[in-house]
Amino acid sequence: MQFGSSRARVYILAAGVFAGAASVSFAQLCENIQNRVNLEWRPDLQTALVGDTVDFGIYAVSANQSTSESMAALQIILQWDPEVLQLLGNINNGPYEWLDTIYPNDVNLDGLNAPFLGVPGNDGDAFLMLFSQLAPPPFGPGSARATPEGLLVTTFRFRVLAPAVMTEITIPAALGEHSSTIVASGIVAGCDIKGTLDSANLRSTLETVFPGDGDGDSDVDLLDFGRLQDCATGHPDESVTNDCVAFDFDFDIDVDLDDFSAFQDARTAE
C-alpha cells in the first residue's frame, strides 16, 4: 500500500493523461483501440463469516486472445454495500509493481473518497488510481500489460460487517460528474481502452453454513428436507432469506429444483 507524499503530483499528472480529445483524428485513434481491456473479479471464495477479512482480486484481461495490451494507468471506481462490507485498503500482490497506487483526495470533486483518511470513508463508493512505470527496459519494466490470461492488478480487502444472502461489489463505468472508470492506453496517451466491467458477489453469514443442513445440527436429513420445502418458493427468481441460504446450493439466490437435486446428492453423501 502506498499513500506517499507524491499523491498531489501524480494526481496532476493523471489530469493531464486523462484530458479529453481535441482533434477528430485523435478521437478516431481512440475509437480504433476501444474495448481492449476487460476488468474481471476472480474471487477465491463465495462465502464468509461476519468479522472475516475477505480479498477480491481484480484482473485486467486483454479482449484479444492472442495479444496483450499496454496500460499507462487505471482508474477504478468501486461500489459496495457499506452495511455489509468495509473497505480496508489494497494489496498490490500482482506480478507487476505499479509506480503508485493511490486513493486520491477528491473532496473537491465528486467526493467519492470523502471523508478521506488515507483510505476512503466507508460509504459504499471509492475510486483508486494505479500508475504504470513508463520507463522501458533496461531502465524500468515499462507499462503494465493486460494479458489474455489476465494480469492481477490489485486486491481489494474488505471486512465483513453483517450477514447478507448476497452482496455485490461493482465497478461502475461512471459516478458523479467527474469520475469514471478508465483503462488508459499505454500506446495512445489519453485513450480509454476499458471493455466490460465485472461485478463480484459474496454471501455472508453469522455462523458457518453447511449446504443442505437447514437446522444447523450438522447433518442433512428429513428434518432438513422439511425446511427445504418451506424455503422453496417455486419461483426461480425469488430471493432466499437468511434462514434459507443453506438450501441455495448453486448460489443463484433461489431455492428451486436445481437446489433440490443438489440436496438429494448431499443426503446420499451423508
Q: What x-and-dash track marks residues 14-33 binding Ca ion by CB under 5 A? A: --------------------
Among 250, 261, 264, 265, interactor with Ca ion by CB under 5 A: 250
Among 40, 69, 100, 256, interactor with Ca ion by CB under 5 A: 256
Nine-digit cell string for 86 = 468495509
Q: How far is the CB of 136 from Ca ion (least distance, A)?
A: 36
Q: Does 123 bind Ca ion (CB under 5 A)?
A: yes
Q: How far is the CB of 112 from Ca ion (least distance, A)?
A: 5
Do 85 and 170 contact (CB within 8 A), yes or no? no
CA atoms of 254 and 262, how far apart (whole Å):
13
Strands 53-62 vs 37-41: parallel, antiparallel or unpaired = antiparallel
Segment contacting Ca ion by CB under 5 A, of 10-18, 46-54, 61-69, 124-132 = 124-132
Q: Does 81 bind Ca ion (CB under 5 A)?
A: no
Strands 182-185 vs 69-79: parallel, antiparallel or unpaired = antiparallel
- Give 205's strand partners: 49
For residue 122, the tally of other CB atoms under 10 A from its CB is: 18
CA atoms of 137 and 122, how far apart (whole Å):
40
Q: Which is nearer to Ca ion, 34 or 258 (CB)?
A: 258
Do 185 and 193 contact (CB within 8 A), yes or no? yes
Q: Does 106 bind Ca ion (CB under 5 A)?
A: no
**In terms of DSSP H, where are the helices of the chain?**
7-17, 24-32, 222-231, 257-269
DSSP 132: -
Segment contacting Ca ion by CB under 5 A, of 7-15, 53-61, 107-115, 203-211 = 107-115
Residues 191-230 that bind Ca ion (CB under 5 A): 213, 215, 217, 219, 224
Q: Does 243 bind Ca ion (CB under 5 A)?
A: no
Q: Which is nearer to Ca ion, 148 or 226 (CB)?
A: 226
Q: Which is nearer to Ca ion, 55 or 123 (CB)?
A: 123
Residues 148-177 that bind Ca ion (CB under 5 A): none
Q: How far is the CB of 62 from Ca ion (least distance, A)?
A: 30
CA atoms of 224 and 197, how far apart (whole Å):
39
- Give 184's strand partners: 73, 192
Q: Does 254 bind Ca ion (CB under 5 A)?
A: yes
Binding positions for Ca ion, rule: CB under 5 A? 112, 120, 123, 125, 213, 215, 217, 219, 224, 236, 248, 250, 252, 254, 256, 258-259
